[in-house]
Structure 1
Amino acid sequence: MSRALPSLTALKVFEVAGRLRSFSKAAAEMNITQGAVSRQIRALEDELRVRLFVRLTRQVQLSPAGEKYLAEVQAAFRTLEQATAKVREQRTRSILTISVLPSVGSFWLMPRLARFSQRHPEIETRVISSIEPVNLHGGEVDVAIRVGALPGRRYDVDVPRVDLTMMVDWRGVLAEELAPDTLVPVFSPSLTDDPRAVSEPAVIQQLPLIHTTSRPHAWPDWMRACGLAPTNAPRTLEYGHFFMSMEAARQREGVAIVPDILLSGSASQGLVAATGCKVRSAGEYYLLSLNERCNERAISTFRDWAQQEMTKHAPGRAADGLPAPSS
């Protein structure tokens, strides 16, 4: 359907002339002749069948109709400018979809992500929480943070296993190490009358142990690495994710064993870490992306930021930020 609209050029000339209250000044601002301004205004008046300006000897004034029309035209131009700015912003704005392990997302990524967004407003982040192997070839995820062992990488048989698969398909995947996976026991200081005693693996083994479903071998493997015989006690305390196990530890249900990457900031409140009982596992935390996309601005920007954040809050020292058993 055709619209009965005047020429956009004529409207722009009218807006400038009306705002400046001068044909000559309008000509100077628009870099055209004063005659061209006069012709555009006359053509607009003829089309509208109304006089927009009152021509005086040495100046022009807006007519009452011109005053009202100018306000409407300026409002319309503002709307067009705002719409254009939004389109340009959408064109330059990137959407980055990040797949992250639930507890790492809750305790490491999300408390920091607002700072990333403030620093890089041109990148919109979308976070997917999952422990499932990630498929970067499907187009639904741009980068992922996972924990595990790279294909072909070997570890000592005595170190704790990581019972998670990182990738569906490793072809063309760039894996950049963020941090080692180090397990540390954590507990509420009111769990025992003598928190100092809970710095010895043999003492920890005798306390109620909180297990995490996603890492079923964490406690038995930790005990083996500490030279202890794994206990055969039934798992009466078991939770689906580390953040659940940590909350159970806060509630004095027992001792949880968690990766020290999670132990920073508010995540550690109400917990004491047995920092002398940390054991590195057979895996690391990796930032995963496709080689063919690794230099895309949003991906490379997030990669650099994540590596810097991990360096500032190095997991090897994160658990040391928790209170140690008091002497």
Structure 2
Amino acid sequence: MFQQLPSLNAIKAFESAARLNSFKDAANELNVTPTAISHQIRTLEDSLKIRLFERKTRAVTLTKEGELLAASANQSLQDLLSTINQLKGSPRTLTISTTNSFAAMWLVPNLAGFQQQHPGIDIQIRAEESLIDMEHDRRVDMAIRYGEPPKQLETKALIHQPLIQESIGFFATPDYWKKHSKNTSEAVFFCTQWKNSKLPNLGIEETIKSIVEDTQPNIRYFHDENLTAQAALSGQGIAIISHLAVENSIKNGWLTQGTDKMATPITGLHYYLVIPKRIQTNQAAIRFKKWLQSTLAKNKPVN
């Protein structure tokens, strides 16, 4: 019945190269040489008697026939992988992509709780600011993102799961509060200026100006929330930062929240989970999602 089908290795090589638009990247993904990828694809083209790629000096692009085969190959391999995962009881390693600050300041400090519950599941964390193409990049299983979840929470290939809306507050060391809680005009404020220009303005600067009424406030900016927190932890000023980001520092008494006008939290954006449908039945993924949801629910900020 399937005698006329090309080899699975050839289909895998073609699908990877088509998805990544690169023989070299496909070779890295499949742990083979670019020459091997090129040979597999050439053999596939010869067997089908059609050209699948237009080969240029530094790039390859799909032909119309290649685009048609690529869509079918991708969907077929995803279906096959999902079934195999079910039969095997799911892979025991999950690769999670998230921002540098969320990884360093919340996920890593809390991950021991998950490992205690599920010692057989290995969690690998990819901390990065660039967005992963979750629909096609199989090097990542799930992503925790910051911003506003898409209005359409489910697409053909992805599920978007809202996790928690952050609450932003004013935090500093106890010693810094003693010196500046009453004289805010001399205080230094640290804010995070996100690299993603599409994120909405939360009006944090305006809130600071309404608190420091008599003078222009001294506001300094970082592009990483981790650095914002570190500046406050070193006693240099007041960080206007997510409760989630400083949760561990609050528990240890290193940072405390301000009082009076600086005690009112600012409503922030959301953290949400992106799950490819190809792993939605993966038991390791299901357990990680449930742990993430329950742990975030337990650690809501105390105002």
TM-score by length of 2: 0.58
Secondary structure in structure 2 of the residue aligned to 1:214: coil
1:133 is aligned, of 131, 134, 156, to 131
Q: Deviations over 1:24-71 (max 9, x none)?
A: xxxxxxxxxxxxxxxxxxxxxxxxxxxxxxxxxxxxxxxxxxxxxxxx
> Are 2:181 and 2:258, in contact at CA under 8 Å, matched by a contact in 1?
no
1:178 is aligned, of 156, 160, 163, to 163
Note the C-alpha offset of 1:143: 0.8
Q: Deviations over 1:65-108 (max 9, x none)?
A: xxxxxxxxxxxxxxxxxxxxxxxxx9975210011221211121
1:188 aligns with 173
- Which amino acid in the other structure matches residue 274 of structure 1? G
1:302 aligns with 288
1:245 is aligned, of 228, 231, 236, to 228
2:267 is aligned, of 258, 280, 283, to 280
> Are 2:250 and 2:256, in contact at CA under 8 Å, matched by a contact in 1?
no
> Are 2:187 and 2:218, in contact at CA under 8 Å, matched by a contact in 1?
no
> Are 1:219 and 1:257, in contact at CA under 8 Å, matched by a contact in 2?
no
Q: For 1:197 and 1:218, how far apart are their aligned partners in 2? A: 31
- Which amino acid in the other structure matches residue 278 of structure 1? P
- Which amino acid in the other structure matches residue 246 of structure 2? L
Note the C-alpha offset of 1:135: 1.8
1:224 aligns with 206
> Are 1:107 and 1:267, in contact at CA under 8 Å, matched by a contact in 2?
no
1:35 aligns with none
Q: Alignment RMSD, CA only?
A: 3.5
Alignment of 1:79-228 (within 5 A): 93-137=91-135, 138-152=137-151, 172-194=157-179, 196-197=181-182, 203=184, 207-214=187-194, 221-224=203-206, 228=210
- Which amino acid in the other structure matches residue 148 of structure 1? G
Note the C-alpha offset of 1:151: 2.8
Q: Report the CA distance shift for 1:170/1:133 in structure 2 as closer, same or farther (over 3 A).
A: farther
2:276 aligns with 290
- Deviating 4+ runs (over 6 angstroms): 215-220, 229-234
Percent identity for Structure 1 against Structure 2: 20
Larger radius of gyration: 1
Q: Report the CA distance shift for 1:91/1:181 in structure 2 as closer, same or farther (over 3 A).
A: closer
Q: Deviations over 1:85-134 (max 9, x none)?
A: xxxxx997521001122121112111221232232233211111012223
Q: Deviations over 1:244-269 (max 9, x none)?
A: 21111122222111111122234664
Unaligned runs of 5+ in 1: 1-89, 154-168, 321-327
TM-score by length of 1: 0.54
Note the C-alpha offset of 1:192: 4.8
> Are 1:176 and 1:288, in contact at CA under 8 Å, matched by a contact in 2?
yes
Q: For 2:172 and 2:265, how far apart are their aligned partners in 1? A: 14
Secondary structure in structure 2 of the residue aligned to 1:190: helix
Secondary structure in structure 2 of the residue aligned to 1:285: strand
Q: Report the CA distance shift for 1:302/1:278 in structure 2 as closer, same or farther (over 3 A).
A: same
> Are 1:189 and 1:195, in contact at CA under 8 Å, matched by a contact in 2?
no
Q: For 1:303 and 1:263, how far apart are their aligned partners in 2? A: 22
> Are 1:185 and 1:255, in contact at CA under 8 Å, matched by a contact in 2?
yes
2:21 aligns with none
Q: For 1:133 and 1:139, how far apart are their aligned partners in 2? A: 14
Q: Report the CA distance shift for 1:220/1:114 in structure 2 as closer, same or farther (over 3 A).
A: closer
Note the C-alpha offset of 1:195: 5.5
Q: For 1:239 and 1:227, how far apart are their aligned partners in 2? A: 18
Which of 1 and 2 has higher RCO (CA within 8 Å, sep 6+)? 2
2:255 is aligned, of 266, 271, 275, to 271
- Which amino acid in the other structure matches residue 305 of structure 1? W
Note the C-alpha offset of 1:232: 6.9
Secondary structure in structure 1 of the residue aligned to 2:174: coil
Q: For 1:219 and 1:253, how far apart are their aligned partners in 2? A: 25
Q: Deviations over 1:200-246 (max 9, x none)?
A: xxx4x7621213242689997124357839997675x3333212211
